[in-house]
Chain A
């Protein structure tokens, strides 16, 4: 379908962010080279332009960072909570001040649209620090008994889909409770964590409390397995999550895992169609579908299947794919060539297995990593695209006749992270929500996040909760 309106380009200025040609590891308050001098390049996924070259941490660097965190732990954990709180409030405020810079940086390094980094990622990052700052001097009130103690050094490994937000989810509660951290961002999105290191310096955070190691999976594994790490927090794939669970078996390490998902978005026949379509689009195309809690399985009541699909296709035809820095862009770039290959392979499998593939007319830019919004209909529960997490802008549409069937299909997954329910009937929302084996259930909305609201999965979507009072437990010796 031809576009009804032509939009003039409206790019956000890149001049607000100054990316250095190279960055070191942030250990003990200083930027340093990797022990073996290795570096790697980080590119902008929308253009394949090299943004910077960063140090590649190895086992020796992990050891150095853990030692720095251990050294800092004694004083940091002994600080009055009210003083730790004030450091975190400072960090929250500096993030607010620098949020446009960080939004542009994140869009450049990750490929997601500026309207998402500007309006979702960054406000949530600042809010998360602000929220946990307030807990630092209130831990006695958190329901874990008097004077709950921190664990020690937290080794944290985060993914590339929400680089700075996942950093916030990890670091804010860890510091509030008195732990020190060594954090490894994903190899394709190292930059915002390094800018965060600079924010720690601006905030006057004591050296060694936060250490940032850029690198690959081997550095993450070395961090998780380091004998002097007391707490492991990981967000990423279920396969790696299982490997971590095995590798820490027999140790005293406390662990939280936030892994994959195959969220069911259930639409009943009484749902307001337009509102549901917006929720479906948000559920699977937000951040190009590279969201662990994406609503990647659409379960539609049979009687409204055709009507809903028509509306959905019409809406998808209006999505704008392209320059992530353009303020009108809805769909940005896929984060990496590797991820693009995986999405492509899974979508091809869907087609080969007989599901009906559809995408709106959509011109893809010539450089960078792109995948058009894609919808599979006539999908059965046996199809790969109904079972495997695709982590891309690919929606599988299934149908159901009764609420029981909807629940059975929704729960028919190894995962249990998120689900959506669309109906005008309150009692049905609650009855269905009660039956769903998922950690977050959105009713007549989707992909809502708030620092006060616990987030995490059932089943193979991992364990532990991040956010809210519940999120403190992961970092306390309770």
Chain B
């Protein structure tokens, strides 16, 4: 055997992704993450409610720039994420395989679908407006135009089982339209999500647009659901009991709530509902006046 075969490999310290940086949990806590057969994989940060609050601050700070970027610019950045993921395909195939107990070929299919999902949403950034907005033919001399706008900071409880494809399927539609996100990764399998942070950090995505926390949804969830500076919450990965609790907490400041949807197959055509769930509609009126010299009005 060659000498290199006895070389000790270097473990990766998995860290959170908040505000474009990679902090450990401020609590200093970690928890053990194992593969599907119970073999230890890594110690993941066990995020605290303080980490969650920091993530909201980062997401809020990033919202103005991200929502104000052109849709074309956002589309290019989402596409860049796909490009970066493609380059790290092998890493994710391994991590997803370990996390979800999938064969290499099945894990590869999952990763490929996740890459293509970024491409799908890259194309949506500058198209959703023409689908859900438009001129309204009001019965009066008015220009009247409705356009969608992002709702703000969105908390995403990521799916528990589909730790990577499901994760991408819930993050991408939130940020495609200009929202920023605070994501609670799959508790059992957070490693692909934490690695995704490394991809996002190198994809021209401004820091804070996506913030990824590992830990317990039922610990962080209630704080994020009742947080007064969070505008919406996607309960994709919350069980029925937690989902109800979080929906009640969310009512405090009337967060937009996307309830858990039964998803048999994250590969299926996602449609537009995950985008429209986190869009506001703004309607602008303006008088059209009349042509006569004295007849027009502001």
Contacts and interface: CB of A to CB of B under 8 A. Distances in A.
A425 B287 CA distance: 10
Interface in B36-94: 71-72, 75-76, 79
Most chain A CB inside 10 Å of its own CB: which residue of B127, B286, B292: B127
Interface residues of B, number: 32
B286 A430 contact: yes
Interface stretch (B115-123, B161-169, B229-237, B238-246): B115-123
A53 B269 CA distance: 49
A404 B293 CA distance: 8
B288 to A, nearest CB: 4
B108 to A, nearest CB: 17
Interface stretch (A7-15, A131-139, A230-238, A320-328): A131-139
A135 B124 CA distance: 8
Interface in A419-478: 425-428, 430-432, 434-435, 451-452, 468-469
Interface string B277-298: 0000000001111111100111
A402 interface: yes
A133 B116 CA distance: 13
Q: Which of B76, B131, B288, B298 has the most CB of A within 10 A?
A: B288
Contacts of B79: 89, 130
B286 A426 contact: yes
A140 B76 CA distance: 22
Contacts of B298: 425-427
A469 to B, nearest CB: 5
A130 B289 contact: no
B253 interface: no
B166 to A, nearest CB: 18
B119 A86 contact: yes
Interface string B158-184: 000000000000000000000000000
A325 B120 CA distance: 39
Nearest to A123: B72
Interface string A49-88: 0000000000000000000000000000000001001100
A135 B127 contact: yes
B296 A428 contact: yes
Interface in B114-150: 116, 119-120, 122-127, 129-131, 141, 143
A276 interface: no
B75 A130 contact: yes
A89 B119 contact: yes
Contacts of B72: 127, 130-131, 451-452
The 5 A-B pairs of least Cβ separation, nearest first, read A134-B123, A427-B289, A430-B288, A431-B289, A427-B287
17 contacts: A86-B116, A89-B119, A134-B122, A134-B124, A136-B123, A137-B120, A138-B127, A402-B291, A402-B292, A425-B298, A426-B286, A427-B287, A427-B288, A430-B286, A430-B287, A431-B289, A434-B288
Interface of A: 82, 85-86, 89, 127, 130-131, 133-138, 140-141, 143, 402-404, 407, 425-428, 430-432, 434-435, 451-452, 468-469
